[in-house]
């Protein structure tokens, strides 16, 4: 369990019971493919964590540990990575796990036809690979990459049966084959994915609460997009656990004895608002700083999240060991905001009280994707809008469907945007703030949404990503974080929220993967 995961599963769960069907209700969009290699988003990671396993993972303390891999070494120049694969593990279709299988997975991920985005990016530095023997895989890298093992811990690069991967993508999407404690049995579109226990499951390492197969017979993975319905279903006992729990539901649930709460913030970047520095008015650092002081985040977060979200002052998630926080930069100070804006030339006001410079209103466009933000977050944005108005800043929130939202980003039609990014390790900083990330992919996509283009920062990130020295890595990433925070490129809000509510009948909930998706190997349903 990564650090930061808190579960109020208090006291002794009692003795385990074998059997039963767990009903999980997911509020995320139903994946179009159950194989997280294809595309690669969090909903896929959530469900795939039940039937797929990764080469590495994180232990309860948040330390990276080998999982399907036994060990890994890197050459001195950092360009050759050798991974040794654990013995005695078979996929649920009977295929044995070996180096060739892992190689087949990596090739699958790198094949354009697979259309992997997250996994593809994570393995982007691999130049070539070779299965030296059954248990040794040798990877040649284009440039050194010290976050490769962290990448290996993400479900998007989970290892699947090579035999199964040879099937058509349609078949593989419907029922990927892995080594996990459960296996996919059937998928009724828009309703549920049914998974059954993998009776032959072998735990890759010792250390879990028990060995052998999972306690639960099966898992029904339902898709219930409406938050209120999902919570009502949990209350009614129709489902046993729900994700994407709403803050108000959490607040009421923690007061009851029948519903328990699991808080598992996601790794990678924090949830933040990006300030687009590539165009007016945020190309002026003073205006960025002024905006950040003009909005009152803390009061809003407290009231909207009922204490379930802790304010963040870092570009990285609190579960990232290398996260650097700088609270002093982000205090609510409208007076200071006013001074800064006056200094930046936004001193006049128009009829509605908004600031004006050269006849142009200080107006910020804020596209918000309806599918990416929860209602509480949308309300937070509205409150930001309201407090910004007091300082004479107009914020225009555009609620958009996801396709249109990307359209706004690709055409640079935004001043503010919030786009969470999940990745294990501080390497996410390079994705989000390196100037290379301002160059759009063929799809138009780019991750550096604040559009920082700072050669010094680029250099810091480059060295931090390739150094073998852990201390230097930490120092460089801290400097990089300082730089983006002090440049007022982003307004951190809180960790990426990942709250689960579950029935008290469900025991031993809390184990998660490296990306904080829960796993139910040790979980059982009390009678």
Partner 1 sequence: MSTHLAKLPRLLAAALLLFFLLAAIAPNLLAPVDPLAIDPAAAFSAPGPGHLLGTDESGRDIYSRIIHGARSSLLIGAAATAIGLGLALVLGTLAGFGGRWLDFGVGRILEVLFALPGLLLALVFIALAGPGVTTTVIAVGLTWAPGYARMIRAQIIALRSSAMVEAATVLGRRRSRILLVHILPNALAPLAVLATLGLGQAILWAASLSFLGLGSPPPAPEWGTMLSAGRTYLSLAWWMTFFPGLAIVLVAAAATVLSRSMKAGGSR
Partner 2 sequence: MSDFAKIQSSPSGVAGTSHGTRSAARWLLSKIMGGIFVLWAVFTAIFFGLRMIPGDPAQAIMGGPGSQASAEALAAAREQYGLDQPLYVQYFAQLWRLVQGDLGTSYSLKSPVVEVLAELLPPTLILAGLALLVAWAMALVLAVLSTRSGAVGVALGSGLEIISAAVPHFWLASVLIMLFSTMLGWLPPVSTNTPAGLVLPIITLALPLAGFMGQVMRDSMAEAQRSAFALSARARGESETGVLLRHSLRHGALGGIALSGWALGSLLSGAVVVESIFARPGLGRSLLSAVTARDIPLVTGVALFSAAAYVLIMAFSDLAERLVDPRIGRS
- Minimum distance, C-beta of residue 232 to partner 1, in the bound complex (Å): 8
C-alpha to C-alpha distance for 437 and 315, rounded to whole angstroms: 16
Q: Is 28 in the site for partner 1 (CB under 8 A)?
A: no
Between residues 245 and 316, which has the closer beta carbon with respect to partner 1?
245
C-alpha to C-alpha distance for 353 and 389, rounded to whole angstroms: 8
- Minimum distance, C-beta of residue 41 to partner 2, in the bound complex (Å): 8
Taking residues 417 to 456 in sequence order and writing x for each that binds partner 2 by CB under 8 A, - otherwise, the string is ------------------------xxxxx-----------
Residues in contact with partner 2, counted by CB under 8 A, come to a total of 49
C-alpha to C-alpha distance for 198 and 218, rounded to whole angstroms: 9
Q: Give the contacts of 420 (CB within 8 A, at least 6 positions apart).
A: 266, 268, 269, 271, 372, 496
Taking residues 292 to 331 in sequence order and writing x for each that binds partner 1 by CB under 8 A, - otherwise, the string is ----x--xx-xxx---------------------------
Q: Is 413 in the site for partner 1 (CB under 8 A)?
A: no
Per partner kind, with CB cut-offs from 5 to 8 A, the member of partner 1, partner 2, none near residue 327 is none
Q: Give the contacts of 224 (CB within 8 A, at least 6 positions apart).
A: 25, 26, 27, 230, 233, 239, 242
- Minimum distance, C-beta of residue 200 to partner 1, in the bound complex (Å): 43
Backbone angles phi, psi at 104, to 5 degrees: -60, -40
Q: Which of 140, 399, 438, 504 binds partner 1 (CB under 8 A)?
A: 399
The structure tokens listed for 351 are: 């009829």
Backbone angles phi, psi at 405, to 5 degrees: -60, -50
Q: Is 391 in the site for partner 1 (CB under 8 A)?
A: no
Phi-psi region of 7 (alpha: psi -120 to 50; beta: other; left: phi over 0): beta
Burial of 399 per CB tally in 10 Å (0-12, 13-18, 19+):
middle
Q: Which of 375, 453, 475, 479 binds partner 1 (CB under 8 A)?
A: 375
- Minimum distance, C-beta of residue 241 to partner 2, in the bound complex (Å): 14
Q: Which of 97, 148, 177, 233 binds partner 2 (CB under 8 A)?
A: 233
Between residues 357 and 389, which has the closer beta carbon with respect to partner 1?
389
**H-helix or E-strand containing 461?**
helix 455-466
Per partner kind, with CB cut-offs from 5 to 8 A, the member of partner 2, partner 1, none near residue 233 is partner 2
Q: Which of 10, 403, 411, 527 binds partner 1 (CB under 8 A)?
A: 403
C-alpha to C-alpha distance for 177 and 162, rounded to whole angstroms: 9
The structure tokens listed for 120 are: 């593809």
Between residues 190 and 527, which has the closer beta carbon with respect to partner 2?
190
- Minimum distance, C-beta of residue 457 to partner 2, in the bound complex (Å): 22
Q: Which of 70, 79, 232, 251 binds partner 2 (CB under 8 A)?
A: 232
Sign, CA torsion 271/272/273/276: negative
Residues in contact with partner 1, counted by CB under 8 A, come to a total of 35
Degrees to nearest 5, angle at CA 260 with 158 and 515: 20
Contacts with partner 1 in 204-243 (CB under 8 A)? Answer: 227-228, 231-232
Dihedral angle of Cα 381, 383, 387, 393, to the nearest 10 degrees: 40
Q: Which of 285, 407, 474, 478 binds partner 2 (CB under 8 A)?
A: 407
DSSP readout, 482-523? HHHHHTT-EEEEE----EEEEETTEES---B-TT--B--SS-
Q: Is 254 in the site for partner 1 (CB under 8 A)?
A: no
Q: Is 385 in the site for partner 1 (CB under 8 A)?
A: yes
- Minimum distance, C-beta of residue 339 to partner 1, in the bound complex (Å): 24
- Minimum distance, C-beta of residue 434 to partner 2, in the bound complex (Å): 15
Query: Is there a contact between 144 and 75 (Cβ–Cβ < 8 Å)?
Result: no
Residue 97 has what DSSP assignment?
P
Per partner kind, with CB cut-offs from 5 to 8 A, the member of partner 1, partner 2, none near residue 400 is partner 1
Q: Which of 42, 381, 489, 520 binds partner 1 (CB under 8 A)?
A: 381
Q: Is 462 in the site for partner 1 (CB under 8 A)?
A: no
Taking residues 208 to 227 in sequence order and writing x for each that binds partner 2 by CB under 8 A, - otherwise, the string is --------------xxxxx-
Comparing C-alpha atoms, which of 110, 112, 113, 90 is closest to residue 163? 90
- Minimum distance, C-beta of residue 193 to partner 2, in the bound complex (Å): 12
Taking residues 151 to 190 in sequence order and writing x for each that binds partner 2 by CB under 8 A, - otherwise, the string is ------------------xx--xx-------------xxx
Question: Buried b vs exposed e over 170-199: b needs ≥16 C-beta within 10 Å?
Answer: eebbbbbbbbbbbbbeebeeeebbbbbbbe
DSSP helix/strand/coil, 231:
helix
Residue 237 has what DSSP assignment?
T
Degrees to nearest 5, angle at CA 191 with 187 and 192: 45
DSSP helix/strand/coil, 223:
strand
Between residues 297 and 429, which has the closer beta carbon with respect to partner 1?
297
- Minimum distance, C-beta of residue 86 to partner 2, in the bound complex (Å): 31
Positions touching partner 2 (CB under 8 A) are 25, 29-30, 32-33, 38-41, 112-113, 115, 117, 120-121, 169-170, 173-174, 188-191, 222-226, 228-230, 232-233, 235-236, 238-239, 371, 401-403, 406-407, 410, 441-445
Positions touching partner 1 (CB under 8 A) are 227-228, 231-232, 246, 248-249, 252, 296, 299-300, 302-304, 370-371, 375-376, 378-379, 381-383, 385-387, 389, 396-401, 403-404
């Amino acid at each position: 369990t990564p650090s930061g995961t808190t579960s109020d599963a208090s006291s002794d769960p009692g003795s385990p019971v074998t059997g039963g069907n767990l009903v999980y209700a997911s509020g995320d969009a139903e994946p179009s493919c159950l194989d997280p290699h294809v595309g690669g988003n969090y909903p896929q990671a959530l469900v795939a964590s039940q039937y797929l396993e990764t080469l590495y993972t994180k232990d309860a303390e948040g330390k990276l540990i080998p999982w399907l891999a036994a060990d890994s070494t890197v050459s001195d120049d950092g360009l050759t990575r050798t991974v040794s694969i654990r013995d005695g593990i078979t996929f649920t279709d009977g295929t044995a796990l070996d180096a060739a299988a892992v190689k087949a997975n990596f090739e699958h991920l790198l094949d354009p036809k697979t259309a992997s985005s997250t996994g593809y990016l994570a393995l982007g530095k691999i130049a070539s690979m070779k299965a030296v023997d059954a248990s040794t895989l040798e990877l040649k890298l284009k440039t050194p990459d010290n976050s490769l093992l962290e990448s290996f811990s993400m479900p998007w690069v989970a290892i699947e049966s090579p035999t199964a991967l040879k099937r058509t993508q349609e078949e593989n999407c419907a029922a990927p084959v892995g080594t996990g404690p459960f296996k996919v049995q059937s998928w009724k579109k828009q309703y549920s994915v049914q998974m059954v226990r993998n009776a032959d499951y072998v735990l890759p390492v010792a250390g879990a609460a028990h060995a052998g197969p999972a306690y639960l017979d099966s898992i029904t993975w339902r898709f219930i997009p409406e938050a209120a319905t999902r919570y009502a279903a949990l209350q009614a006992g129709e489902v046993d656990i729900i994700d994407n729990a709403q803050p108000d539901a959490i607040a009421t649930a923690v007061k009851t004895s029948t519903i328990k709460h699991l808080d598992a913030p996601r790794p990678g970047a924090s949830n933040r608002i990006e300030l687009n520095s590539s165009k007016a008015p945020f190309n002026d650092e003073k205006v960025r700083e002024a905006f950040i002081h003009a909005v009152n985040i803390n009061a809003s977060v407290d009231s909207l999240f009922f204490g379930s979200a802790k304010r963040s002052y870092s570009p990285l998630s609190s579960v990232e060991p290398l996260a650097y926080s700088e609270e002093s930069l982000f205090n609510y100070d409208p007076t200071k905001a006013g001074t800064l804006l006056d200094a930046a030339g936004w001193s006049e006001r128009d009829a509605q009280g908004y600031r004006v410079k050269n006849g142009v209103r200080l107006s910020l466009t804020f596209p918000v994707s309806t599918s990416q933000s929860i209602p509480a977050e949308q309300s937070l944005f509205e409150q930001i809008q309201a407090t910004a108005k007091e300082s004479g800043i107009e914020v225009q929130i555009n609620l958009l469907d996801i396709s249109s939202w990307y359209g706004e980003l690709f055409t640079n039609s935004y001043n503010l945007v919030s786009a969470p990014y999940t990745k294990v390790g501080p390497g996410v900083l390079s994705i989000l703030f390196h100037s290379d990330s301002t160059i759009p992919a063929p799809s138009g996509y780019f991750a550096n949404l604040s559009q920082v283009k700072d050669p010094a920062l680029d250099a810091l990130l480059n060295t931090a990503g390739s150094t073998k020295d852990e201390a230097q890595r930490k120092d460089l990433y801290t400097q990089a974080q300082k730089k983006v925070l002090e440049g007022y490129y982003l307004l951190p809000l809180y960790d990426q929220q990942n709250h689960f509510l579950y029935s008290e009948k469900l025991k031993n909930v809390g184990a998660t993967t490296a990306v904080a998706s829960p796993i139910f190997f040790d979980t059982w349903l009390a009678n």
